Amino acid sequence: MGDENKVLFQITEANLDTGLRGMPVSTVFTSEVDPQDGLHYVGYPIADLADLDPEAAIFLLFHKHLPSEAELADFKADLVRRSKVDPRVVALITALPPEGHPMEWMIAALNFAGMLCKTGDYREDGLNVVAQMPELVAAIYRGRSGWGAPIQSEPERGLIENFVHMMGVPGADPAKLTRLMRVFYVLHMDHGGGNLSTFVGKAVASGKSDMYASLGASMAGLYGPLHGRANQECLNFLDTCGTNDPDAVEAFVRSEMAAGRSIYGFGHAVLRAEDPRAGVQYNLGRELCPDSEIFQRALVMRERAVKVLKESPKVKNPYPNVDAVSGSLLQACGLTDAEYYTVLFGLARCSGISAQIVDERLVHRGGKGVAIYRPDDIPVNQPHRRLQA
């Protein structure tokens, strides 16, 4: 940055109706997606951060540097202080209809929490959401899946340790699930400023809507099957495939392509190589569930889907994205219902979106904040005319 007249992008007619693909519209301090090297948080490659304390990664996105030991201890204590969820929010959540998708519950939960708990200060509300999200998501899981009454929060355990404790997943090994969820959380927190959910959240906040309403809107974006809900669709895709035989997997991919359906877990709007977050999760699967049938299938798919997608000239990136394997790991570690996977994505993503909204509202333009979003459009087939007198 520095030369405000520098031309960054020339818009032609071919750029219209492409979902703003490739057009830079804002600056961002938290993360970057390099088409080849993938995601970086404040300059650090995501694979290097995968084993970080989730709280340290949140600190990084909010403060733009890694915490010292003392800073991390203070930050963890601050999140513990902020973690108490208003019981009225939990009561409202548990009264929601089971017909609703868990993401619809999550969007409702954020709106309920906003009505009852918002301070109106973006930073305060953002950190409060980050601290309270584990209890909200555990309430959604337990309330909707009939696992029983909410389990008392013990926030001193740590953000994810407490989350796994409050989930009380029947039959799961808590140590394994904690290891998986810590990495899952760090990998899913942020992905630049142009992804749909982040973009939408920042756009809503630019009209000075509060943090909770903005995050509710961003979670509505994440709910779409081409965006966050792809992790649910991806496990369904592996289930539907139904075989681990490489040739049969390849035949399945070919038939899905021929039918005009998506090959879930592959492709990306920005990345042009395998997503390093997928690489981290393939390695984690080898550690946590090497013999799981569904994980083995994800490994076969990694090879054969890429082969088939490479043959299609229109597909710009045939490689695995973040969702290619996450569902099979969650399933192998006890979270068997794919319908909830996007909520787990949202749990993590709210931290990155909050950090970006705080920057856009309180830091950009010398603290004045980014102006209200108002892109232009081109009217088509609308000649000016008058009603008959």
d(CA 77, CA 87): 21
In the list 114, 216, 265, 352, the residue contacting ligand AMX (rule: CB under 6 A) is 265
**Do the beta carbons of residue 370 and residue 364 sit within 8 Å?**
yes
List the beta bridge partners of residue 131: none
Structure tokens at 45: 């490659």
User: Which is catalytic among the residues 268, 275, 364, 384?
Assistant: 268
74 is catalytic: no
Nearest distance, CB of residue 170 and ligand AMX, angstroms: 28
List the beta bridge partners of residue 320: 266
In the list 262, 283, 292, 336, the residue contacting ligand AMX (rule: CB under 6 A) is 262
**Do the beta carbons of residue 375 and residue 25 sit within 8 Å?**
yes
Sign of CA dihedral 347, 348, 349, 353: positive
**Do the beta carbons of residue 196 and residue 227 sit within 8 Å?**
yes
> Is residue 269 near ligand AMX by the rule CB under 6 A?
yes
The stretch among 77-85, 115-123, 211-219, 266-274 that binds ligand AMX (CB under 6 A) is: 266-274
323 is catalytic: yes
Nearer to ligand AMX, 266 or 295 (CB): 266
Of residues 213-252, those binding ligand AMX (CB under 6 A): 226-228, 230
Nearest distance, CB of residue 309 and ligand AMX, angstroms: 6
d(CA 93, CA 91): 5
> Is residue 59 near ligand AMX by the rule CB under 6 A?
no
User: Which is catalytic among the residues 227, 245, 247, 376?
Assistant: 227
Of residues 296-355, those binding ligand AMX (CB under 6 A): 314-317, 321-323
Site size for ligand AMX (CB under 6 A)? 19
d(CA 106, CA 104): 5
- What count of other Cβ atoms lies within 10 Å of the Cβ of residue 16? 11
Nearest distance, CB of residue 40 and ligand AMX, angstroms: 17
Which stretches of the chain bind ligand AMX, using CB under 6 A?
226-228, 230, 262-269, 314-317, 321-323
